[in-house]
Structure 1
């Protein structure tokens, strides 16, 4: 595959994957979780089983999306550095990059045809897109870890093990034996109910979704400017 086709593939893959992933996480917060906690039966065991089902499905979906996002936008950022590395490492390039992108957007909106040196501005935009659009899994492994663990513990206690009782998905077991998760599940008075725990998970997912959408938008701007 030649260089231009590889660049095009990276652009299409990055935008498609990041758009689908951010839309998916947005739907979880806006539709799935409210349906579970606000319009369900009210039975905590059922509520937790429903949360766990969408959580396991989402965990399996998120890993390849984050990988595609990071590799696609990361490759595009790397290509920007290779072609314009004479400015790489200069702290003044960051401000210059922002200024150049703003000037170019104004020129495009005005209908003017301009061909500025876009290597450095696009590099920064693609780096931001790569980090933000691939943040879903790192967020789950760090900031969301205690809540995921607490929900996994309580869902097992009230709703039983997920499918095969011997072989549980990694997303359920990775934090369920940690002190922070066990303390949140059993000792924290703010999370005595399943609804409170699931809403805490939703709060994290809202923030994560905002970051994913930011990555998608920045990536789209970079791709448009790179045409």
Structure 2
């Protein structure tokens, strides 16, 4: 798998390069700023773009803007954006950039290398990955009158895993229940939240995240 990395902090950039090369990935290019990231991704056409949200020149959300511009040109391009801090709007904006192959992860996720590499493969394979910390913050504690308050504990677990981008089969395995039970719980979640049901991975993640971001 050929990867282009966008990261301005040298220790993080070189650390990512090292661990990914050791894991068998090919680092096709590295960029220290957002314009260079866009240029490299256009020229090299990697299998995956891995980018920090905050990059020069603006050190705001320049990395995210670069990724979104690349997705506008090539909607099927697999991308993962990394963030130091959780921002729900970034997750929503990224998920709206295309039908599949997107990930939004906090940087501490990299410490669990096996999970991080698994996330990369899921995104390249067309999946959607959302950091569990982001999902937990979105779900939070339901307020009075909030439809989330009407969900059972199990339904909230299913909702969280759906928002992370997990398939029904994966949710069933993680919760040690049958897949048909996951389908039933998911249907209750959709009905309770008043969102359109979809079994297509990215579309259902987007529907859930859009609701949670309101």
- On whether the aligned pair clears a TM of 0.5, the verdict is no
More strand by share: 2
Larger RCO, structure (CA 8 Å, separation 6 or more)? 1
Which TM-score bucket, shorter chain as reference? under 0.3
The answer to which structure has the higher helix fraction is: 1
TM-score (structure 1 length as normaliser)? 0.24
Query: How does the TM-score come out when normalised to structure 2?
Result: 0.25
